[in-house]
Amino acid sequence: MSQYNFFLITFLVFTLYFLSLTLSKQGKITQLTHRRLWNTILLVSFLVTGLLGLILAFSIDAKLSLSWYLPFLWFHVEFGIVMALVSIFHLIWHLPYYRQIFLKHKNTPSS
């Protein structure tokens, strides 16, 4: 359990993402299916990472000694890596939203 498999997870996530993107560009799956798939992966990875993270933080601060602390920490990091990588794809999809916010602010007079 000492290894977090960062490189393997990164390779798998990127490979599956570009496979799904290619299938959607070729019309073999719709863009909606592609997005639903990755939004669902983001949701599940966020729920596992976030909930385990909260349980870990709580148990540290409450000074609870959990026999399953290390397995929880391991799953937290595995899902955390998936979540952080998929968040990058998600952010790229929504860049126009942020570009609009920041460009608007830039063009607004400061008075």
Chain residues that interact with ligand HEM, rule: CB under 6 A: 49-50, 53-54, 56-57, 60, 73, 76-77, 80-81, 83-84
Residue 29 CB, shortest distance to ligand HEM, in Å, is 28
Which of 2/107 has CB closer to ligand HEM? Answer: 2
Please give the C-alpha separations between residue 39 and each of 11, 45, 64, 86, 110, in angstroms, as whole numbers. Answer: 19, 10, 34, 8, 37
User: What are the percentages of helix, strand and coil residues in the chain, rounded to 5?
Assistant: 80, 0, 20
Output the residue with the shortest Cβ distance to ligand HEM: 53
Residue 71 CB, shortest distance to ligand HEM, in Å, is 12
**13/39 Cα distance (integer angstroms):** 13
Residue 77 CB, shortest distance to ligand HEM, in Å, is 5
